[in-house]
C-alpha cells in the first residue's frame, strides 16, 4: 500500500489539533533547521497505520477485552514523498511499518497486540467532557470516528489534543524552561525543535464497537499524570506524558507520549 501525504493532510490535522508548528507549513523555517521538505504531523501519519492495523484485527472476531498500540518513530514523514505501508501478522501481534519507497528507510513501525486489563489509578481530580462535547470534537477529526476501525484512533487523537493543550502540561515544562513565552505546549513546539519518538495507547475493545460506547447521559472523564522530564538544555530533554480516560463505568484508554527536544545550549 502506497501513502503520499500533502499539505492538505497537515492542514486537516492542524485544524483538529491546533498544532500549526511551522515545520509543517513554512519551508523557509524548515530550511533554517537544516531540512528541505515540509513534513506531515506524526500523529496524522499514525492515523493511517491505526486504521489498517485495526482493519486486520477486525477481520476476525475479537478474542480479547484490551489491546495495546505502540509506535517507535525514527524519521519525519515528508510531504509529497511516497511511502510503502507494510503489514504482517506475527502470532497475536499485527505489525506495520512505514518505509520511504525510494530509500527504503523506515520512518516508523507500529504493532497492535492483546494486552492486560486496563486499571486506572485513583485520583482526587478528573476533568470531564459530555457526550455532546465529544461528538462536537468529532466534526474536525480527519477520519470517520464512527467507523469501528477508527473510533479508538479518534479518542487517542482527542487525548493527545487535550494533553498538549493542558495548562498542567505547560506548567511542568516551564519549570524546566522558565524562559519560554508560551500559553500552550503547541506554542512551545513552534519555539524549540521537538520530535515525537514513541507513542503507546492501551485501550478497551469497547472502543472497537463505537455504536454502544456511550449512553446519552454518560461522560468522558480524563486525567493527566505528572509529566516526567529527563535531561538538560545542553543535551536536550526527554518528556513523557500520560493521560487516562474512562466512562462512568468502564476504563477506556491510556495514552503515553514521549517527546525529545534538541539541545538548547545557545538559548
- Can you give 186-247 as a three-state secondary structure string? HHHHHHCCEEEEEEEEEEEHHHHCHHHCCCCCCEEEEEECCCEEEEECCCEEEEEEEEEEEC
- Which contiguous run of DSSP H or E holds residue 69? strand 66-73
**Helix residue spans in 99-150 (DSSP H):** 131-138
Are 67 and 203 in contact, with CB atoms under 8 Å apart?
yes
Closest CA to 239 of 180, 205, 181, 189: 189
The span from the CA of 96 to the CA of 183, in Å, is 36
pLDDT for position 172: 79
User: Do strands 77-78 and 39-40 pair parallel, antiparallel, or not at all (unpaired)?
Assistant: antiparallel
- 237 pLDDT tier (thresholds 50, 70, 90): confident
- 267 pLDDT tier (thresholds 50, 70, 90): very low
- 214 pLDDT tier (thresholds 50, 70, 90): confident
Are 12 and 155 in contact, with CB atoms under 8 Å apart?
no
Average pLDDT over residues 81-88: 96
Are 77 and 40 in contact, with CB atoms under 8 Å apart?
yes
Please list, in sequence order, all residues whose beta carbon lies within 8 angstroms of the beta carbon of residue 164, skipping any fewer than 6 positions away: 17, 19, 184, 185, 186, 189
Alpha-carbon Rg for the chain in angstroms: 18
Does pLDDT of 181 surpass 80?
Answer: no
Task: Count Cβ atoms below 10 Å from residue 61 Cβ, excluding itself.
Answer: 5
The span from the CA of 27 to the CA of 13, in Å, is 18
The span from the CA of 198 to the CA of 109, in Å, is 10
pLDDT for position 264: 66
**What percentage of residues in the chain have a pLDDT greater than 70?**
97
Highest mean pLDDT, choosing among 56-65, 132-141, 206-215: 56-65
The span from the CA of 224 to the CA of 237, in Å, is 20
Mean pLDDT over the full length of the chain:
89
Amino acid at each position: 500500500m502506497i501513502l503520499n501525504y500533502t499539505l492538505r493532510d497537515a492542514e486537516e490535522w492542524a485544524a483538529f489539533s491546533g498544532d500549526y508548528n511551522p515545520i509543517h507549513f513554512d519551508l523557509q523555517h524548515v530550511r533554517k533547521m537544516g531540512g528541505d521538505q515540509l513534513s506531515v504531523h506524526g500523529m496524522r501519519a499514525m492515523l493511517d497505520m491505526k486504521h489498517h492495523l485495526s482493519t486486520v484485527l477486525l477481520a476476525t472476531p475479537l478474542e480479547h477485552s484490551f489491546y495495546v498500540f505502540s509506535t517507535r518513530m525514527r524519521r519525519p514523514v515528508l510531504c509529497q514523498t511516497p511511502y510503502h505501508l507494510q503489514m504482517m501478522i506475527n502470532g497475536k501481534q499485527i505489525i506495520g511499518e512505514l518505509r520511504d519507497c525510494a530509500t527504503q528507510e523506515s520512518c516508523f513501525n507500529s504493532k497492535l497486540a492483546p494486552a492486560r486489563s486496563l486499571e486506572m489509578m485513583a485520583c482526587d481530580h478528573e476533568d470531564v467532557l459530555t457526550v455532546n462535547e465529544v461528538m462536537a470534537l468529532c466534526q474536525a477529526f480527519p477520519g470517520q470516528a464512527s467507523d469501528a476501525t477508527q473510533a479508538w484512533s479518534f479518542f487517542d487523537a482527542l487525548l493527545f489534543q487535550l494533553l498538549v493543550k493542558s495548562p498542567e502540561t505547560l506548567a511542568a515544562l516551564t519549570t524546566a524552561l522558565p524562559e519560554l513565552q508560551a500559553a500552550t505546549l503547541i506554542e512551545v513546539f513552534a519555539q524549540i525543535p521537538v520530535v515525537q519518538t514513541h507513542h503507546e495507547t492501551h485501550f478497551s475493545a469497547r472502543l472497537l464497537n463505537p455504536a454502544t460506547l456511550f449512553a446519552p447521559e454518560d461522560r468522558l472523564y480524563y486525567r493527566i499524570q505528572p509529566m516526567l522530564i529527563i535531561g538538560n538544555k545542553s543535551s536536550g530533554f526527554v518528556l513523557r506524558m500520560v493521560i487516562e480516560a474512562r466512562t462512568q463505568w468502564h476504563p477506556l484508554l491510556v495514552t503515553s507520549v514521549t517527546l525529545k527536544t534538541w539541545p538548547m545550549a545557545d538559548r
